Structure formats: C-alpha cells, structure tokens
Structure 1
Amino acid sequence: MAKHSSSQNKRPGPFEVLLDYEQRSLAHEAGRPEMVEAPGHWRGVGFRLGKRRLVSSFDEVVEILPLPPVTPVPGAQNWMMGVANVRGSLLPVVDLKMFLEGERTVVHEGQRVLVVRQAGGNVAVTIDELFGQRTFNDSHRADSAGDIEGRYGHFIGQAYQLADQTWGVFSMSLLTRTPEFRQATA
C-alpha cells in the first residue's frame, strides 16, 4: 500500500490564495474602464430631478445613501426636510426639487440622497432617481442655454447629449454657495 503524500492533497492556505490574487491582479492589463480619465472624457453621478436628467461631478458628491431617518427642524424653510444622523454626524437633509421647483419630492422606498461637500460640513440632497455613473466625451457636448428654465439656469453651465437624452451638468458647489441655500431658517 502506497503512502499518499500530504502535500499532494493539501489545499492552499489563505495566504497563498491572496498571493495568487495579487499576482494575477498585477499581471492584468488595464482595459477600457480606466480610460475614462483620458483627455476629452468627463464622468459624474447621473440622477433625475423632476423631468430633468442631471449629472454632477464625482468631486462634488461625497457619497450616495438611502434616505436616512430625518428629524424635522422647527422654523426651517419648507425645502429643509430636517437633520439625519449618519454614522454619528448630523447632516442637514434638503429636498432639492422643493428648493429648485417649489414641488415636494415624493419619498419612496429605495429613495436616495447625494451627500455633497459644503463649507462647514456636508449636506444631503434628495433626488427623484439615481442613474449611477455616466461618462461623456467632447463629442457629446450640447448647447444647453436654450432649454434651461427657472432656477436651474444658475446651476447648469453645460450639457451633454447622449442617446436622445440631454444631461445637464449640475454644479453642487454653486448650489452650496448660494446664500438662499445656506440660509435654511424661515
């Protein structure tokens, strides 16, 4: 009867598995997704607000979260939903559609908020629908001056046309610097 060597039946340990993953990862050739940083390409977070498809720069959106429980703040503007505790930090939560259009966002299961940088701390803004990452190149640029109405005109400086959809580039940094937005008390 032949003895079986224990090394023949031995499975690789966790360290060996991780080492194999690392070696294969380092050997992997970068593909198309990494090319979005090429000149002429722009990408951001796509979302819908009312009837508009908008996109904001990844530099302006800190994270995307489900709508946390919100505590109303007495004496606040009607577009200020309240504050929410997110991992121990209080974030103001703003109904962006109410701020821009005067129409309340219909809150639903799966509602998302964009956490946006602003001086003095982040703020969460509600959106109607999240589309995720969108990538555009210079050939997608569109003339946006003709179709921007109302308050949106102050925050949309350019647009992209892609597959019969116009995506306005919405500046969250302009929004957070607007005196009216910064003054949430009624």
Structure 2
Amino acid sequence: MRSPFDILEVYERRSLAHAVQLPERQFATDVWRGVGYRVGQRRLVSDFREVVEIVPMPPVTPVPGAEPWLLGVGNLRGNLFPVVDLKQFMEGRRTVLHEGQRVLIMRQAGGDVALTIDELFGQRSFELAQATVPGEIAQGRYGHFVDRAFRAEDQDWGVFSLSLLSRTPEFRQAAA
C-alpha cells in the first residue's frame, strides 16, 4: 500500500512531465522603471529602490514646534514615522488633503518617512531614448533633486531623488 506522500509524489512527476515551459523573461537593460506621482504641477518619478511602499494617509498626530511642512507623526503597523507635506517643503504651498490620500513611504537613516503627494500614477517605465532635459520640472528647489527627465505621452517626468532628499540637512532638521 502506498502512502499519501508517495501518491502526491507521483502526481507531481506526472504534472511536471506535462507542464508547458514558459519563455524565459528578460528585462531590457535600456529601460528605467519607477513610481510616478504628481506634486503641484510637476509629474515626478522616483526609483523603485527608493520607495518602500505606498499607503493611504495614516492618522497624524501634530508635533509642537515643528516646521510647517512636517504634518506630524503617523503610525503604520506599530511603527512611528514623520509625515511630511512634500509640496509645502518644496514649494511653500500646502497639499490639499483629500479622502483616499496616498503617501509614499521612503527609507532614510533613522527610519521611514511618509511623503504626501497630490496624485499617484503608479509604475512608469521609460526607455533611455526617451530621456530629455529636465527644463521647467527642475526649476526652483526641484533643481537640487531632479537631474534628469523622460518624455512620454507628451508629458515630461522628472526623476526625483528621494535618497538625496533624505540627506538634505533642512529636511533632516524638522524642528522650527
């Protein structure tokens, strides 16, 4: 008499013998991928390696004496982290928060930080041939964080460096 394990092993061998081999998936090396979002009028993308996750806006507890762009402290699965209004930090204008608001969670030394955005576009892929000069996207404070851009569907997308943002002294010092 065969054991249940022996019977399952026979099923596995039979199924593998008849399995259709999927083609090997290769990723083009001349494609740049990231997360697309909007801050103010600018369409930006950040490298996938810089974005930990994207979550709904958590409840925020204000921090007395903090810079106006630091909305407060949020809690995600028991982890506390600062919630920053990215538009206010970059442009001096507050993000209009709405139901369904999303935040990008980025990693920095000392812990994660949530950044409010105006609109989330999700994954964006660009061929290197779509590279363009950043132009207006890199005007003002954005020029420090956007050093390249891509053009797709008649839109310019600035590559916004979250890792550079996290190392900026002003960003790291949120106390007023």
User: What's the TM-score bracket when you normalise by the shorter of the two chains?
Assistant: 0.7 to 0.9
**Retained in 1: the 8 A contact 2:147–2:159?**
yes
Tell which deviates more after alignment, 52-61 or 136-145: 136-145
Look up the match of 2:151.
Answer: 161
C-alpha distance after superposition, 1:57-82 (max 9, x if no partner):
00100000000000000010000000
> When the two structures are aligned, how many residues end up with a matched partner?
165
Look up the equivalent residue of 1:109 and give its one-letter code: E
1:56-109 Cα offsets, whole Å, 9 max, x none, are 000100000000000000010000000011111101000000000000000011
Secondary structure of 1:59's partner? Answer: helix
Q: Are positions 1:56 and 2:56 aligned together?
A: no
- 3-state DSSP class of the match of 1:29? coil
Cα shift at 1:148: 2.1
Q: Post-superposition shift, 1:40?
A: 1.1
Deviations for 1:18-67, whole angstroms, at most 9, x for unmatched residues?
x6xx9598733245xx52xx211100000000000000000100000000
2:131 alignment counterpart = 141
Q: Deviations over 1:110-132 (max 9, x none)?
A: 11000001011110000000000
Q: Which runs of 5+ in 2 are unaligned?
A: 1-7
**In structure 2, what residue type is equivalent to 1:76?**
A
TM-score, reference length from structure 2? 0.87
Distance 1:104 1:30 in 2: 47
CA distance in 2, matches of 1:148, 1:171: 12
Matches of 2:31 and 2:20, distance apart in 1: 26
Please identify runs of 4+ aligned residues in structure 1 that moved more than 3 A.
Answer: 22-26
Give the alignment partner of residue 95 of structure 2, picking from 98, 101, 105. Answer: 105
How far, CA to CA, are the matches of 2:155 and 2:138 in structure 1? 14
Q: Which is higher, the Rg of structure 1 or of structure 2?
A: 1
Percent pairwise identity: 60
CA distance in structure 2 between the partners assigned to 1:25 and 1:64 by the alignment = 36
Per the alignment, do residues 50 and 146 of structure 1 end up closer, same or farther by CA in structure 2, a change over 3 Å counting? closer
Partner of 1:29: 23
Cα distance change on mapping 1:26 and 1:65 into 2, 3 Å = farther
Tell me, which stretches of 5 or more residues in structure 1 are unaligned?
1-14
CA distance in 2 between counterparts of 1:103 and 1:40 reads 36
CA spacing shift, 1:147–1:87, aligned 2, 3 Å: closer
Root mean square deviation, CA, Å: 2.2
Distance 1:146-1:75 versus aligned 2 partners, 3 A rule: closer
Instruction: Give the one of 148, 158, 161 matched to 1:171.
Output: 161
Contact 2:67 2:175 in 1 (8 A): yes
- Report which of the two has the higher share of strand: 2
TM (norm. structure 1) is 0.82
Q: 1:106 to 1:146 in 2, by over 3 A?
A: closer
Counterpart position of 2:172: 182
